[in-house]
Amino acid sequence: MLNWIYRAADALRRRSLAANHGRIGEDMAHRYLRGRGCTVVARNYRPPSGHAEIDLVAWHGEKLVFVEVKTRDTAEFGEPERAVDSEKQANLARAARNYARRAGVEWQNVRFDIVAVILSPRRIEWFRDAFH
């Protein structure tokens, strides 16, 4: 029953956010991670400094996971995960340090993952420990 409600909500959201691939991809990644044992504790976290934004923050076992979601309509112009360059990684790490400090989590207990979403044909890939 709950699965049906999620699918209906997704269909409505896709219609209202047809041009917002990022939001659709984040919704799909959120549900994907939850289905694989993650507990999502924050979405679109932005530190007070305003540098970067962390798409999803989740617990996966004992690790606090900072997830970057990359969404593409198709894979025609390359794989989504390749868009997370060193500058993006540095900005995410800065924001993650802020979150971890505020949450009282030791840095050795964090991980950075990427979830790559391709909308057509639909494909989701989870890259654990994608960068340090």
Encode the chain (132 residues) as per-residue pLDDT tens digits.
666 676 666 666 555 545 677 889 999 999 999 999 999 999 999 998 877 899 999 999 999 999 999 999 888 888 989 989 999 999 999 999 999 999 999 999 999 999 999 998 999 999 999 998
Q: What is the pLDDT of residue 12?
A: 62
**pLDDT the model gives residue 17:** 47
Round to whole Å and give the CA distance between 87 and 93.
Answer: 10
Q: What is d(CA 3, CA 18) in angstroms, rounded to the nearest whole number? A: 22
Q: What is the CATH number of domain 20-131?
A: 3.40.1350.10
pLDDT the model gives residue 14: 53
Domain ranges of the chain: 20-131
Backbone angles phi, psi at 121, to 5 degrees: -70, 150
How many Å apart are CA 68 and CA 89, to the nearest integer? 9
Q: What is the pLDDT of residue 111?
A: 98
CB 46 within 8 A of CB 92: no
65: which 2 tokens? 């996971």
DSSP letter for 103, please.
H
The strand pair at 39-45 and 54-60 is best described as antiparallel
